Structure 1
Amino acid sequence: MNFREIEDWYTRVGDLIKQQRIIDALNKIASLPFLKGNAGYLPRIEELRFTYANMLSYTIKGVPDPSRDKIYNRLLVSVYELADNLRMELISKTGMQLVSMKRNLESDMRRENEDMAESLMGLSFDHELDEMLRDTVLFDDETESETAIQHRKAILRAFGLLWLTDKLSEDDASQVARIFDSPSIPWYEKSMMVSALTLGMLRCFDSRKLILLADLYNADDPRIAQRALVGMIISFSIYDNRILLSNSIMDRLSVLKDNERFSLESEAVIIQLIRAKDTEKITRKFRDEIIPDVIKFNEELSEKLNLEKLMTPEEFQDKNPDWEKYFDNQPGLVRKLEELTNMQMDGADVFLGAFSMLKSFSFFRELPNWFMPFYKEHFAVVNALRDESDEFRKVLSEGIEKSVYMCNSDKFSFILNISNMPEAQKNMMGQMFGAEAEQFEELAGEELSDPYLRNKRIVIQYIQDLYRFFRLHPLKGEIGDIFSLPLEVHNTEIFRLLARDKQRLKSIASFYFDHDHYDEALRIYQSLEQSGESYAELYEKSGYCHQQTGKYEEAIASYRKADLFDTNRIWLLGKIAQCHLKLNNTRAALETYLEQDIFESDNLKTAAAIGTCYLNLNEPEKALDYFYRIEFADQGSPRAMRPVAWCLLILGRTEEAAPYYDQLLGMEPNAYDYMNAGHLAFSLGEKQTAAEHYINSIRQRGGDITSFLKGFVSDGKYLISNGVDASELPLMMDYVRFRAGEGS
């Protein structure tokens, strides 16, 4: 089996267990070709079958058993663990690079005769790290000394062990706790270790890793705590059912129940995970819309303002007064840039496209470095800026470190790319970060006074780091992509148990709704309704979500519920009418629009909708009354004149229609104006004039005779009712076709 087949098999087994289809799950496990002739797993499968059969027998016979639920839950856990073990063994037989990495770690352990706290695959922590943990002095040596190099190797080794150990033993977990309690290991290395725990959880379910993440959420340093929270939230999404079955995890998580801080910060994590799913869309918008406009703007500005001359040294400090005027003439570009800026300030990932090509530095070849928090003393930063001036090095490194809009991974990319920049660009960067130093200080002050804001920014940057790893790392095909999963943590049972404040769900639903994720928003609204929530906005937004996803009958039902609260009545009636139109129920739409018109008789859009409904119901006389109302309010406008002229024409009131078409043809007539003017002339017996108008209609359509003929045939009934001989219709069509060049 290849990796994809293994994962599909494992997912199917998990789905069967979640549905409590134990026999089917065991059969799916037993069906593996790998098990034929393998005496190791078959007895365990039969043991689980036997246990389940006995439990079923006692249940059906009505034998009282107060421990039955515990036995059943333990059985479910055992089937899960059996599937885990089989999955990891199957993966170990593939040629994946991760398998090689794990084997190399195992070889290192054996070579060094390390046998401490053996886990399922025999991995343990190395003696270099153990030496560090005995120290009480913070290790912050960023040099290339032997001690520093050994330290970094030990940290990388520990990262690999936390990530690639399938399940931690109790002793392993205790050793991990020592890492995070040790005063000798700095916050940034501990933060990196949190990521290793999270990666380990994503690779294979491990209750001890999740409990460690829960413990780390209480860390004094928010940079560690918030990373742990992100790992927990992602784990909740993936392992909801398994977490509920684990007594040890549930006991540990119970302290978070109804915890306001956990509830509020979890909301921030969930919203950022949702926002991350729009990253590719933002990148496309930046690449396809904004960048071309900026390039065009620069070219036009350079030509208009003679920038080459302007940027000579003696004039470098001068500002051109035409700049501001020229920006005023580019409202589209300004609007897009403002939109992008606002999105960035809210936490949107706008830099992926710019930095995705800057992940090939040797720094990123060490996988743990994708999760390293940026700090200006890091040896890679020091080395990258070694040849720069002291002032430039200080301004740039401090500016990058304090920047709240770049994630850690991109900060390293930026610094590592400095050596490739022209001197002029370096100077510009130094000036830019120097100018923004005051703003960075203000933001830092805000974070000191608002811990929630500080924690939110940590989460934003960290999730962007994760996004880059899962989308850009060379091993992405083996690691999987959490951002391709639904990650609807708010819909998990574990989250509902821990964060019972419905305001969190409402906030998440609003975020989905505001960002056009209507299916996801609707699921939350339906959940709120099922829990007993009942208010106008809930039904209004549910209806809108249904409408936007094409479920018009359901939308009408929700809108009708909202209407019972007697708020936003006019808006609701308009939406209900739109849904009726989508369902081709013109009569119901008309009745709804007429009801809306009672409350808002001066609304021209409603009048237009009513008129259109009457036209579609073949009642042009009634339609005309509403179109006259529009014309009276918007006199001389072609859009107001067209429906009036058309109604008069099909009602046979040709003399009244004639002045309208005369005016329309004197404005900027479109293909339909020419066609309808032709119908009018044909009805009045002016065939030559009619033919000329028809030919002009074809020209307006770019020579598309087919679309013209389709419209002409459709309108034939009106021509006949106006007295045109039916036998002349095909003759007129052929004449026009000859004149238009088709018959030559």
Structure 2
Amino acid sequence: MPSSQIELQAVLSLILEQKNLPLALKNIQLFLKQAGLSQFDTRIEEIASGYQLMKDYMLRGYQDDMRPQLYHSMLRQLYSIAFDVRVKQAVISGGYHGLAELSARHINLSDGDIQQKLEAYVQDLAMLSLEPDTVRSEKEHTLRKQHQHYVASVFDTIVVSFYWSEAVHSALLQLILSPMVDSFDALTLVSAVALSGMNGFDPWRFKLLLAVWQQTEDEELRQRAFVGWTLMACTDGMRLFDDAVEQMLSVLETANADDLRRQLYELQCQIFYCSSARRDNESIQKEIIPNLMKGKRLRFDRFGIEENEDSLEDILHPDKAEQEMERIEESMNRMTEMQKQGADIYFGGFSQMKRFPFFSSVSNWFVPFSKQNPEIAEVLSQLDSTKLIDAMLKGGLFCNSDKYSFSFALKSVYEQLPPKVREMMNTTDGMMLLESAEDMDKPSYKRLQYLQDLYRFFELNPYRAEFRNPFWNDHVTRNSQFFLHDALPFASFYKEIISLMSFAAKRKEWAFMRELSERHRPDRQETLHLLTTDVERLQRYYRLQNTLSCHFHEYEQAHRYCRSLVIAGLVAHEESRVKTEAVAYDEETHLLKLDSEPLDLGFATERDLRSYASTALRAALFEEAARAYQALFEATDNNRYRWHHALALMNMGRVEETLSLLYPLDMEEVNIPVKRTIAWALLLRRKPDQAERYYEAILSSDAVITEDYLNAGYSKWFLNKNNEAVVLFKNWLAQQSTETISSVFGQDHRLLEDNGIGTIDRMLMEDLVGSE
């Protein structure tokens, strides 16, 4: 990031986060002076004068009730200047913004000239139908080309426009909603508003997108506006505009709030599907495509998959053809299933097809696909048939950007194809096109198509660095996604938040899940409300929090969540004596608690009790772990729980009880983990001769782990079989790189001392193991 952007970002931080008007004012004045930007001096001086007047009134002892409101108003005025300076700096830096500013010089967004021209285009296009066929085609092509160039200029003007006024908002809102404007133009210009609004929050841009979403009857336009205002709401600047936040919250609490919350949840999931396109493409390239390529005996023709003629392989491996067919079908089915789940399976293939001149214009990345587009019409006119293009449009397989890529790529290779291949393409029978995963008319499908267009722009466009990328990546910041918004109320969105945590856990999006968890912690009222109205969902929340904590090895915190999980289960169980009134809320941990100890585990489900016991064991809460595993064994008669019970007892120092539990298990079946526990317990009981026999059995098995060599070495050492001990210690040392022999001897010093190994013996052994 250039130093000028860093300095400006520091100013924005003072305005948005610290709300420090005097320091922000001082810094931006210095920045503008160093940058030589004098066009903002008048606006800066107006704010500085107002702020000085505020200080003067304060010095005179005046108590002004409007002071906070005036201060906040000046902050917003200063933010609008910083917004404009950011755009101006981008223009000065060149790149897309520099080129776009050239287009914008002759266009005024606040007057009605743009709307008049766009409406006139529709009328002129309609009038061409009266022209003779001999001239209509050429005139239509010229008209469409001129119009496309003009729309691209308006698009550029919107992107590089300064902080809007109400007049600009009103003019563009009327334009976009006008029934006399071509719907494709409205779709393209809404994308320009969203693109510029994602770079920096502008309340007027936000209100326009919200109004279009609420008022339009065009579903595709509605979905573009919906994506736009939700992504724009994630920008930092929104926190300064309370009226915009209140407007958004009022929308979230409308009569159709349930449906809106569902759509917001779907949108968030779709953003993740798009964000993982590169990862999905890697999976396709490494796992699916190789399977397809292995089917050398199979070929694709206009009628589907056909086997090649018999060969020696048929004689040697008569069932190979069937296996290849099954493998190919499995691969195709997997791709279809990935698409149904929302995966962007075409990104990888089309990412290499964005270098055609058509994509040099930023607006063209957001233009809906049309065979009448003047640039694509020239391409299609050179094909013998457009049946394949028609099938692609009908199937709705690709986003708009990929449809243009496909058409240009098809033209570039079409003339070089053999006649039979052309014939096959023109029939479209055997092109192996996957069916659309969803109905094209569904709002969710239209939204996903637009998101894929956006994703391609932010991943592949040469100017993408000039824009804030709204898609998920490794750099996680609060409010980078809509469900991390500071103003989002947990009480209203708890169902979607919990579902989103589950979605993130399934996709192993741990960073996002952590952010979501930290942002949304139900308070006392919300927790107790869920306990009485939706205890199952509250339990699901605790399970997810337990999973998250375990992933980050925070086992004490994980156990606290499991404890709340069991308490909630006690309240839900009809036969339990624990009622809601007996449950309290811990303000420090934000979790449930009971005054009665120990916790009654008798009514917990096996799954919940297993989590409770496991986290207790890992958190070194051995007494609780032993109690929980004993309850599990008594309820299920599962020997695995008996083994874990023994582990807990051993860590409590109750070694004899441990061995009495494990010996019967060892006699019932060959179980290396059980033998490993017995062997360690025997070392603790100073019985190295018996432990030695167990370690020899373990080392001769296929289930050896690195620590077995270390512990087996202990058994030899304690029996004074030092040569064998040295060999085992060296084997252990060779298989890991994080610890030294000295460090583990230090950790196990109590065991060594109990078995007669003193400091001198330790040093000698360390030297023997370390020497060659």
TM-score by length of 1: 0.77
Call closer, same or farther: CA 1:124–1:131 in 2, change over 3 Å.
closer
**Cα separation, 2, equivalents of 1:382 and 1:718:** 83
**Cα separation, 1, equivalents of 2:326 and 2:728:** 39
- Pick one of 629, 636, 644 that aligns with 1:609: 644
The answer (yes or no) to whether the contact 1:570–1:599 under 8 Å persists in 2 is: yes
Provide the residue aligned with 1:50 in structure 2. Answer: 52
The yes-or-no answer on 1:490 pairing with 2:483 is yes
The answer (yes or no) to whether the contact 2:501–2:544 under 8 Å persists in 1 is: no
1:295 is displaced (CA, Å) by: 5.9
SS, match of residue 565 in structure 1: helix
Provide the residue aligned with 2:219 in structure 1. Answer: 222
- Pick one of 42, 59, 63 that aligns with 1:40: 42
The yes-or-no answer on 1:468 pairing with 2:503 is no
The yes-or-no answer on 1:417 pairing with 2:412 is no
- Pick one of 237, 240, 243 that aligns with 2:238: 240
**Cα separation, 1, equivalents of 2:710 and 2:67:** 80
Structure 2 residues not aligned, in runs of 5+: 130-135, 532-537, 571-603
Provide the residue aligned with 2:622 in structure 1. Answer: 589
Provide the residue aligned with 1:566 in structure 2. Answer: 569
**Cα separation, 1, equivalents of 2:46 and 2:434:** 65
Residues 163-205 of structure 1 deviation map (CA, whole Å, 9 limit, x = unaligned)? 2222455554454345434455432232112101212323454
**Cα separation, 2, equivalents of 1:549 and 1:723:** 39
Indicate the larger mover: 28-37 or 701-710. Answer: 701-710
| Paired residues for 1:295-306 under 5 Å | 297=291, 302=296
1:419 is displaced (CA, Å) by: 3.8
**Cα separation, 1, equivalents of 2:685 and 2:320:** 58
Provide the residue aligned with 1:353 in structure 2. Answer: 348
The yes-or-no answer on 1:153 pairing with 2:149 is yes
- Pick one of 528, 542, 545 that aligns with 1:542: 545
Provide the residue aligned with 1:291 in structure 2. Answer: 285
The answer (yes or no) to whether the contact 2:115–2:181 under 8 Å persists in 1 is: no
Provide the residue aligned with 1:451 in structure 2. Answer: none
Amino acid in structure 1 at the alignment position of 2:567: L
1:345 is displaced (CA, Å) by: 1.7
**Cα separation, 2, equivalents of 1:349 and 1:412:** 17
**Cα separation, 1, equivalents of 2:756 and 2:552:** 46
| Paired residues for 1:154-173 under 5 Å | 154-168=150-164, 172-173=168-169
- Pick one of 615, 620, 634 that aligns with 2:655: 620
The yes-or-no answer on 1:368 pairing with 2:360 is no
Call closer, same or farther: CA 1:85–1:33 in 2, change over 3 Å.
closer
Provide the residue aligned with 1:75 in structure 2. Answer: 74
Amino acid in structure 1 at the alignment position of 2:52: F
1:364 is displaced (CA, Å) by: 0.7
Residues 613-659 of structure 1 deviation map (CA, whole Å, 9 limit, x = unaligned)? 444455533332343354355x1233333332443355354665566
SS, match of residue 482 in structure 1: coil
**Cα separation, 2, equivalents of 1:727 and 1:193:** 81
Call closer, same or farther: CA 1:608–1:378 in 2, change over 3 Å.
farther
Amino acid in structure 1 at the alignment position of 2:463: L
Count of paired positions: 695
The answer (yes or no) to whether the contact 1:678–1:694 under 8 Å persists in 2 is: yes
Residues 317-338 of structure 1 deviation map (CA, whole Å, 9 limit, x = unaligned)? x9985355468899xx96x987
1:597 is displaced (CA, Å) by: 2.2
Structure 1 residues not aligned, in runs of 5+: 449-453
The answer (yes or no) to whether the contact 1:376–1:382 under 8 Å persists in 2 is: yes
Provide the residue aligned with 2:23 in structure 1. Answer: 24
Call closer, same or farther: CA 1:679–1:501 in 2, change over 3 Å.
closer
Amino acid in structure 2 at the alignment position of 1:198: A
Provide the residue aligned with 1:131 in structure 2. Answer: 120
Provide the residue aligned with 2:574 in structure 1. Answer: none
Amino acid in structure 2 at the alignment position of 1:414: F
1:716 is displaced (CA, Å) by: 8.8
Call closer, same or farther: CA 1:500–1:577 in 2, change over 3 Å.
closer
**Cα separation, 2, equivalents of 1:512 and 1:669:** 33
1:361 is displaced (CA, Å) by: 1.0
**Cα separation, 2, equivalents of 1:481 and 1:215:** 24
Call closer, same or farther: CA 1:307–1:615 in 2, change over 3 Å.
farther
Call closer, same or farther: CA 1:297–1:184 in 2, change over 3 Å.
same
The answer (yes or no) to whether the contact 2:365–2:453 under 8 Å persists in 1 is: yes
1:283 is displaced (CA, Å) by: 1.8
SS, match of residue 6 in structure 1: helix
SS, match of residue 462 in structure 2: coil
The answer (yes or no) to whether the contact 1:226–1:459 under 8 Å persists in 2 is: yes
Provide the residue aligned with 2:465 in structure 1. Answer: 477
1:463 is displaced (CA, Å) by: 1.2
**Cα separation, 2, equivalents of 1:398 and 1:506:** 42
Amino acid in structure 2 at the alignment position of 1:322: K
Residues 126-161 of structure 1 deviation map (CA, whole Å, 9 limit, x = unaligned)? 975463366694999997722222222222222222
**Cα separation, 2, equivalents of 1:400 and 1:281:** 24
| Paired residues for 1:57-72 under 5 Å | 62=63, 65=65, 71-72=70-71
SS, match of residue 237 in structure 1: coil
**Cα separation, 2, equivalents of 1:234 and 1:341:** 29
1:362 is displaced (CA, Å) by: 1.2
1:49 is displaced (CA, Å) by: 0.7
Residues 263-317 of structure 1 deviation map (CA, whole Å, 9 limit, x = unaligned)? 6346434543455356555523542x55234465467654xx6989x9786679x
SS, match of residue 195 in structure 2: helix
| Paired residues for 1:410-449 under 5 Å | 410-419=402-411, 439-440=435-436, 443-444=438-439
**Cα separation, 1, equivalents of 2:43 and 2:665:** 79
TM-score by length of 2: 0.74
Provide the residue aligned with 2:670 in structure 1. Answer: 636
Provide the residue aligned with 2:185 in structure 1. Answer: 189
1:462 is displaced (CA, Å) by: 0.8
1:28 is displaced (CA, Å) by: 3.2
Call closer, same or farther: CA 1:133–1:79 in 2, change over 3 Å.
farther
Call closer, same or farther: CA 1:89–1:34 in 2, change over 3 Å.
farther
**Cα separation, 2, equivalents of 1:443 and 1:384:** 29
Residues 467-525 of structure 1 deviation map (CA, whole Å, 9 limit, x = unaligned)? 1112211111222323366433234366559x946544444444344433321331354
The answer (yes or no) to whether the contact 1:14–1:80 under 8 Å persists in 2 is: no
Amino acid in structure 1 at the alignment position of 2:458: F
**Cα separation, 2, equivalents of 1:503 and 1:666:** 52
1:13 is displaced (CA, Å) by: 2.7
Call closer, same or farther: CA 1:492–1:425 in 2, change over 3 Å.
farther
The answer (yes or no) to whether the contact 1:124–1:161 under 8 Å persists in 2 is: no
Residues 90-132 of structure 1 deviation map (CA, whole Å, 9 limit, x = unaligned)? 44443444124203431xx2xxxx77857xxxx9749754633
1:596 is displaced (CA, Å) by: 3.5
Call closer, same or farther: CA 1:256–1:343 in 2, change over 3 Å.
same
Residues 184-236 of structure 1 deviation map (CA, whole Å, 9 limit, x = unaligned)? 54322321121012123234544443333223212111001110111111122
| Paired residues for 1:666-681 under 5 Å | 667-668=701-702, 670=704
**Cα separation, 1, equivalents of 2:686 and 2:252:** 75
